[in-house]
Amino acid sequence: MKLPTSTEWVLHCATTLAQLEPGATASAKQLAEYYDLPAPYLAKQLQALVRAGVLAATTGPRGGFRLARPATGITLLQLVEAVDGAAPPYECREIRQQGRGALPPEDCRDTCILARKMGEAHDVWRRHLDGTTVADIIAELPPTVPARTRSRMASTGGR
């Protein structure tokens, strides 16, 4: 059970985008240089965020990515599931109904208890990540960080 490496990338990129002035954009190349990441692959992940409706992309010069919503409406869960998918990690294949020990259908009315427990654990995981927004993250950063982020990001793009 491993999350893609790119999960960390998009979490930080979204945090960075949220620190820019409203309406400002940052290109994939800018963000890649900002964190020393492979630009083409990072772009692929940002596209996934666009498909998920978390980011908005504009093409052409001065284009790039920006948040599709205010940072208060973007949770960590939305970012994680945009790159990793929303499929639960535990997949019940109903082996209790197969083989010599197959249970009769009347004992399988309810979902398998093991599957339910695993699903509940996944739910509490999701709820925890869904309870934190990008705005909450920024609020906990040292107060000097956002201004510096804007400054450095602007100088990169030759703005």
Partner DNA sequence: GTATTCTTACTCGGATACACGGTGTCCGAGTAACTATGG
Partner DNA sequence: CCATAGTTACTCGGACACCGTGTATCCGAGTAAGAATAC
Least distance (Å) from its own copies to the CB of residue 134?
A: 10
- Output the smallest distance, CB 109 to DNA, in A: 28
CB of 28 to its own copies, least distance (A): 14
Residue 76: count other Cβ atoms within 10 Å of its Cβ: 19
Contacts of 13 (CB under 8 A, 6+ apart): 31, 35, 42, 46, 65
Site string for its own copies, 111-150 (x = CB under 8 A): --xx--xx-xxx-xx--xx--x----x--xxx-xx---x-
Cα gap 55→24, rounded to integer Å: 12
User: Going by C-beta distance under 8 Å and a sequence separation of 6 or more, which residues neighbour residue 107?
Assistant: none
Please, is 59 exposed, middle or buried when counting C-beta atoms within 10 Å of its C-beta (0-12, 13-18, 19+)? Answer: exposed
Give how far the C-alpha of residue 85 lies from the chain's centroid of Cα atoms, to the nearest Å: 9
Q: Which residue has the tokens 């999701």?
A: 126
- Kindly tell me which residue out of 65, 67, 78, 149 binds DNA, with binding defined by CB under 7 A: 65
What is d(CA 36, CA 22) in angstroms, rounded to the nearest whole number? 25
Pattern 13-52, binding to its own copies, x per CB under 8 A? --xx----------------xxxxx---------------
Cβ proximity to DNA: between 63 and 70 the closer is: 63
Considering only residues 12, 29, 122, 126, which one is a binding residue for DNA as defined by CB under 7 A? 29
Residues making contact with DNA (CB under 7 A): 2, 4-6, 27-30, 38, 40-41, 43-44, 46-47, 50-51, 57-65, 84-85, 157
